[in-house]
Chains A and B, each alone.
Chain A
Amino acid sequence: EVHLVESGGGLEQPGGSLRLSCAATGFTFSNYNMNWVRQAPGKGLEWVSYITSDSGAIYYADSVKGRFTISRDNAKNSLYLQINSLRADDTAVYFCARAVAGSYRSYYYYYMDVWGKGTTVTVSS
């Protein structure tokens, strides 16, 4: 069965750092692009970062550029998110999600078909 399991969340002070991990099982991790998505308490989903299967292309939301770094280790079937200079508004549940692409005639489509349960990051002094 396909699973994603996040870890590494916790309580951290403003200005601190955390490294989130996402362990993939049940599929060939190296064949898939991946996303990090977060959700602040009581708020909607916010896309954070995307990495292609070979780490050849990486994208970040404007809100996290320069502070977050996405990476992956295909040999370990793992995805990572390094979060530096933590701010209170980084407080959220962080989900990893498998990214898939397709096309139909002249339209492309992209979706996230497998999600982990999330790991909670709380930034507070």
Chain B
Amino acid sequence: SSELTQDPAVSVALGQTVRITCQGDSLRNYYASWYQQKSGQAPVLVIYGKNDRPSGIPDRFSGSSSGNTASLTITGAQAEDEADYYCSSRDISDDWVFGGGTKLTVL
């Protein structure tokens, strides 16, 4: 199965913009989905498809894709956005794959 690569950790000042990236061959054929996971909780879907947000997800979360790279952008990061973020997609063998996760710190 293919792999998705994320930076292990990223930090952002309160109210600033941060981009979390995800690289992998499968992203040339599939849009990534993005999940937020706070400590001790289940993951929550924040972005799917081209750039869609589930109901209840703030519009400061957005997604984009280019080539083999998908990005999750948080515009005006809030303290409550501090969490682990995972990208995911399927691959050509129909398996699902997650990135290793990015720990976001809001300073």
Give chain A's interface residues, CB within 8 Å of chain B. Answer: 35, 37, 44-47, 50, 57, 59, 61-62, 95, 97, 100, 102, 104, 107-113, 115-118
B residues contacting the other copy or chain, number (CB 8 A):
30
Partner of B31, one of A47, A107, A113: A107
From known contacts A45-B86, A95-B42, infer whether A107 and B98 are also in contact, taking CB-CB under 8 Å. no
Q: Which residue of A lies closest to B95 (CB)?
A: A59
| Residues 27-54 of B at the A interface (beta carbon under 8 Å) | 29-33, 35, 37, 41-45, 48-50, 54
Kindly state whether residue B23 has any CB partner on chain A within 8 Å.
Answer: no
A-B contact count (CB 8 A): 84
Kindly state whether residue B62 has any CB partner on chain A within 8 Å.
Answer: no
- Specify which chain A residues have a CB less than 8 angstroms from the CB of B41 in the assembled complex: 117
Kindly state whether residue B1 has any CB partner on chain A within 8 Å.
Answer: yes
- Specify which chain A residues have a CB less than 8 angstroms from the CB of B88 in the assembled complex: 45, 47, 110-112
B54 & A113 in contact (Cβ 8 Å cutoff): yes
How distant is B89 from chain A, measured CB to nearest CB, in Å? 7
A61 & B95 in contact (Cβ 8 Å cutoff): yes
